[in-house]
A = this chain, B = another copy of it.
């Protein structure tokens, strides 16, 4: 989180911060994201609105912060545990564990955050810095290894390979809906692998 966008998180009061993030998540869960407001979060956390506005630029930023803190350890652990010698098996595991496991029932939160990010450049930056970018970097490491080991064609940019895989998940979430289940994540990996394998 860059200091030019929001104050250094280390300078926030930890108890107050925890109460605000807890309130934001609880409101999102109970009333739906559409009903989340800075006013509501402030009232529930027992703080003033100005405290929230001093530390976060928007309600989307509060929800992202609350959600990412819960998610990132679990998500990044899943991505790093895919370290067998079989890229196909690792890819299927990574896609399933991250999309159905770590993100799982929070997919509507992710969809809402990305929706908000379309008219909130700060939130778009935070999303990229905290979730999208770090996820892509971790998957890229595994793809480069698969290229070194001859399981992925060497002429493909690892980040374009990631586009091919992850774009299918986000497209179904945001644009053209369908089931999010293991049959889908398997098919996402299978379809991408058809194009990624050495020719």
- Highest count of chain B CB atoms <10 Å: which of A117, A167, A187: A167
The answer, among B33, B116, B119, B171, for a CB contact under 8 Å with A163, is B171
Determine whether the beta carbon of A163 is less than 8 Å from that of B168.
yes
Determine whether the beta carbon of A164 is less than 8 Å from that of B136.
no
**Please, which residues of chain B bring their CB within 8 A of the CB of A171?**
163, 166-167, 170-171
- Which residues of A in the span 115-142 have a Cβ within 8 Å of any Cβ on B? 115-119, 128, 132, 136
**Chain A: number of interface residues, binned into ranges:** 35 or more
Integer count of this chain's copies in the complex: 2
Interface 9-residue window, one of A45-53, A86-94, A189-197: A189-197
The answer, among B114, B156, B167, B187, for a CB contact under 8 Å with A118, is B114
- Which residues of A in the span 152-168 have a Cβ within 8 Å of any Cβ on B? 153, 156, 160, 163-164, 166-168
CB of A10 closer than 8 Å to a CB of B = no
Determine whether the beta carbon of A160 is less than 8 Å from that of B187.
yes
Determine whether the beta carbon of A118 is less than 8 Å from that of B111.
yes
1/0 contact string of A162-180 vs chain B (CB within 8 Å) = 0110111011101111000
